[in-house]
Amino acid sequence: MEADRSVFILLTNTGTLFTRVIQTYTKAPYNHASISFNRELSELYSFGRKHPNNPLNGGFVKEDIKTGTYSKYPNTTCVIYEIQVSEREVEKMKRVLQVFIQKNQKYLYNILGVIGVAMKEPVEFSNSYFCSQFVAEILERSGIKIWNKLPALVTPDDFRNSDRLHLIYEGKLSDYEQLKQPPC
C-alpha cells in the first residue's frame, strides 16, 4: 500500500493594485495561487512577479513567504489548503515542476489568460501561464483531476471551493510564518 503525502495550495491577497483590479471582477477574497510540497511553504512555486517592484515582469517564480513580493506586502492575507496525494503523484508533480525550473526563463505570465477566464473562454499560449492555471496544470499533468474544466479556466477561488482540499490555515501570511509547525 502506497503512503499518502500532502501537497499544499496557498491562496493569497497582497492588496496590490493588480489584485484589487482582479478582485473587483471576481469578488473572491484571494486572487493568487501557489503550490508547495511542504507545510512550511519553503518549496513554493507559481506564476507571478519576477521582481517585487515590477508588476509587469511576470513569469515562473519560486516564491518565498519571508522575502520577495510577500515581504513588500506584510499585510498579505492567505488561506492554505492541504491535498492528500500518493507518493507517485508527488513524484510526477516534481518531474513536471523540474521542466519549469530548468527552463524558467522561457515562461511568461499569461495576462490574456486572466482576461479569458473573465470571459469564460480559455486563452492558452505555449510557455505562458497565470498562477492558478499553472497550479491546476501541475496537478492535472500528475493525474490529479479536481475540476471538470481546462487549467486555463481555473481560478484561485476554484481551489477554495474544492471538496478535495482541506483547510489548514486562514489569516495573515506573516502570522502563519511565525507559527510553530509540526514536523511533516
| Residue 1, pLDDT score | 41
pTM of the model: 0.91
Local confidence band at 24 (pLDDT 50, 70, 90 cut-offs)? confident
List, for residues 45-89, the tens digit of each pLDDT value. Answer: 999 988 877 777 889 999 999 888 888 888 999 999 999 999 999
All three cell numbers of 41: 511553504
Q: Identify whether 125 is part of a domain.
A: yes
For the cut 80, the answer to whether the pLDDT of residue 142 exceeds it is yes
Total of domains in the chain: 1
Q: Rounded to the nearest 10 degrees, how much is the dihedral formed by the CA atoms of 81, 16, 128, 78?
A: 0
Q: Identify whether 155 is part of a domain.
A: yes
Looking at every residue in the chain, the average pLDDT score rounds to 90
Q: Identify whether 40 is part of a domain.
A: yes
| Residue 180, pLDDT score | 46
Q: Which domain holds residue 107?
A: 4-178
Q: Identify whether 66 is part of a domain.
A: yes
Q: Identify whether 174 is part of a domain.
A: yes
CATH number at residue 77: 3.90.1720.10
Average pLDDT over residues 16-37: 87
| Residue 143, pLDDT score | 94
Q: Identify whether 183 is part of a domain.
A: no
| DSSP structure string for the chain | -PPEEEEEEEEEE---HHHHHHHHHH--S--EEEEESSTT--SEEEEEEEETTEEEEEEEEEE-SSSHHHHH-TT-EEEEEEEEEEHHHHHHHHHHHHHHHHTGGG-EE-HHHHHHHHTT----BTTEE-HHHHHHHHHHHTT---SSS-GGG--HHHHHT-TT-EEEEEEEHHHHHHSPPPP-
Q: Identify whether 184 is part of a domain.
A: no
